[in-house]
């Protein structure tokens, strides 16, 4: 018998996976701890007595089937998603359960839409990629900012991070993406992804106060360029990153995040400033919070809750903004994110 409250976390012992496990427990779900490393799963389970551990590998479909058996949904937190997303989605389709992931990799998210859209729609399955800080939050904010607009000329997502101490998983995923695009960078323009070999521009972005005008890397492209155009008619989608955070990410000796509170969050703060433009009219949505990895957990767990309670808007492969009521989901996260949304 399938438990409506049992959710597999694949990659449960990773940095983000641990936040997701904790959030599931706080929300009354029963996490099933899964991933490739059985020793790490046992160590995590020792700190969370009573939880089931189910080791599984993307190279072993049978182990994935056993991990997902009798559960209500799976959240994939194990990068690089270029390697894990496809096999875990296949297992979710075999099990007949929803799949969500926290992938920030542009190419992995493109693959999910390209390879699974038709099958998932035909099966009535729910697959939500990039239900995370990158890809998910920006998409929700852009969708909320659009309001009653059916199209816009441009969407701009500016990330104001005071620092970015990357996890080992972030570094690995970045290396995989860089290899897949042969060292080129990518932007979304004229309704498609464009690969370039030149340096991205350095610009000034006027963030809401008190952050104000800051130096940013222009065309610092994140997963929003996949999620937003997947359902919104916007031919130009640009993302920006504060220069200090970009330097942290690129430096080889930047440390990993260090906890500064009882929830395990780092001292990193963020401001996501989203502007959509149509003709001469501009609409804006803003989110503020602490720790991009930690805030991914309430984002994806709230999404799971809505999927399992039937509060979805479509089936198949869909981004956060298409799958859910974007303003309503964002407001449900008020304990974690402060918002400024258009009225």
Q: For 176-216, how does the pLDDT look when each residue is reduced to its tens digit (9 = 90+)?
A: 999 999 999 999 999 999 999 999 999 999 999 989 999 99
Residue 67: Cβ within 10 Å count: 25
pLDDT, tens digit (0-9, with 9 covering 90-100), for 225-261: 999 999 999 999 999 999 999 999 999 999 999 999 9
How far is the C-alpha of 177 from the C-alpha of 80, rounded, in Å? 9
Same domain, 151 and 189: yes
Same domain, 110 and 140: no
Same domain, 246 and 105: no
How far is the C-alpha of 309 from the C-alpha of 303, rounded, in Å? 10
Contact by Cβ (8 Å): 81, 106: no
Q: Is residue 333 part of a domain?
A: no
Contact by Cβ (8 Å): 313, 323: yes
Range of the domain at 66: 6-132+296-327
How far is the C-alpha of 204 from the C-alpha of 279, rounded, in Å? 22
How far is the C-alpha of 87 from the C-alpha of 129, rounded, in Å? 14
Same domain, 256 and 300: no
Same domain, 140 and 274: yes
Classify 322 in phi/psi space as left (phi over 0), alpha (psi -120 to 50) or beta. Answer: alpha
In the prediction, which pLDDT does 4 show? 66
Q: Is residue 68 part of a domain?
A: yes
Q: Is residue 184 part of a domain?
A: yes
Q: Is residue 1 part of a domain?
A: no
Residue 320: Cβ within 10 Å count: 29
pLDDT, tens digit (0-9, with 9 covering 90-100), for 75-88: 999 999 999 999 99
pLDDT, tens digit (0-9, with 9 covering 90-100), for 59-73: 999 999 999 999 999
Residues 6+ apart with CB under 8 A from 138: 157, 222, 223, 224, 227, 228, 239, 272, 274
Q: Is residue 89 part of a domain?
A: yes
Burial (Cβ within 10 Å: 0-12, 13-18, ≥19) of residue 188? buried
Q: Is residue 336 part of a domain?
A: no
Same domain, 188 and 242: yes
pTM > 0.75: yes or no: yes
Number of domains in the chain: 2
Same domain, 165 and 244: yes
Contact by Cβ (8 Å): 72, 4: yes
Burial (Cβ within 10 Å: 0-12, 13-18, ≥19) of residue 155? buried
Output the domain CATH number for residue 51: 3.40.50.720
pLDDT, tens digit (0-9, with 9 covering 90-100), for 103-127: 999 999 999 999 999 999 999 999 9
Q: Is residue 335 part of a domain?
A: no
In the prediction, which pLDDT does 343 show? 79
Residues 6+ apart with CB under 8 A from 232: 142, 143, 146, 151, 152, 155, 321
Same domain, 21 and 61: yes
Residue 117: Cβ within 10 Å count: 15
DSSP secondary structure, 253-277, as one string: TPPPP---STT---S-EEEEEEEEE
Same domain, 97 and 233: no
In the prediction, which pLDDT does 1 show? 43
Q: Is residue 342 part of a domain?
A: no
Contact by Cβ (8 Å): 241, 161: yes
Same domain, 151 and 287: yes
How far is the C-alpha of 215 from the C-alpha of 217, rounded, in Å? 7
Output the domain CATH number for residue 258: 3.30.360.10
- Which 8-state DSSP code applies to residue 343? -
Same domain, 307 and 235: no
DSSP secondary structure, 245-257, as one string: HHHHHH-TTPPPP
Same domain, 275 and 155: yes
| Residue 40 to residues 17, 18, 45, Cα–Cα distance (Å) | 12, 11, 9
Please choose, from the candidates 16, 208, 210, the residue with its C-alpha nearest in 3D space to the C-alpha of residue 101.
16
């Amino acid at each position: 018998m399938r438990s409506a409250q049992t959710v597999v976390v694949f990659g449960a012992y990773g940095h983000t996976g641990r936040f997701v496990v904790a959030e599931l427990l706080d929300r009354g779900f029963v996490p099933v701890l899964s991933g490739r490393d059985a020793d790490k799963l046992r160590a995590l389970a020792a700190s969370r007595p009573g939880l089931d551990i189910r080791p599984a590998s993307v190279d072993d479909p049978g182990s994935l089937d056993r991990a997902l058996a009798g559960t209500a949904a799976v959240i994939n937190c194990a990068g690089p998603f270029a390697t894990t997303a496809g096999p875990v989605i296949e297992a979710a389709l075999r099990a007949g359960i929803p799949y969500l992931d926290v992938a920030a990799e542009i190419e992995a998210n493109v693959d999910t839409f390209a390879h699974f859209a038709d099958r998932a729609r035909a099966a009535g399955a729910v697959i939500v990629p990039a239900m995370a800080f990158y890809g998910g939050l920006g998409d929700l904010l852009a969708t909320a900012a659009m309001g009653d607009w059916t199209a816009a000329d441009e969407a701009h997502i500016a990330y104001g991070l005071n620092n970015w101490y990357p996890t080992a998983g972030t570094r690995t995923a970045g290396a995989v993406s860089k290899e897949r695009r042969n060292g080129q960078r990518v932007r979304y323009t004229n309704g498609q992804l464009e690969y370039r070999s030149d340096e991205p521009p350095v610009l000034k972005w006027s963030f809401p106060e008190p952050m104000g005008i800051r130096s940013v890397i222009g065309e610092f492209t994140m997963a929003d360029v996949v999620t937003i155009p997947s359902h919104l008619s916007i031919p130009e989608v640009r993302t920006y990153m504060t220069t200090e955070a970009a330097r942290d990410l690129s430096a080889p000796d930047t440390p990993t995040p260090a906890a500064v509170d009882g929830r395990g969050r780092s001292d990193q703060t963020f401001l996501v400033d989203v502007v959509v433009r149509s003709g001469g009219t501009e609409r804006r949505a803003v989110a503020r919070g602490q720790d991009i990895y930690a805030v991914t957990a309430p984002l994806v767990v709230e999404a799971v809750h809505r999927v399992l309670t039937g509060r979805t808007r479509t089936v198949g492969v869909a981004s956060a903004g298409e799958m859910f009521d974007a303003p309503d989901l964002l407001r449900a996260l008020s304990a974690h994110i402060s918002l400024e949304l258009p009225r």
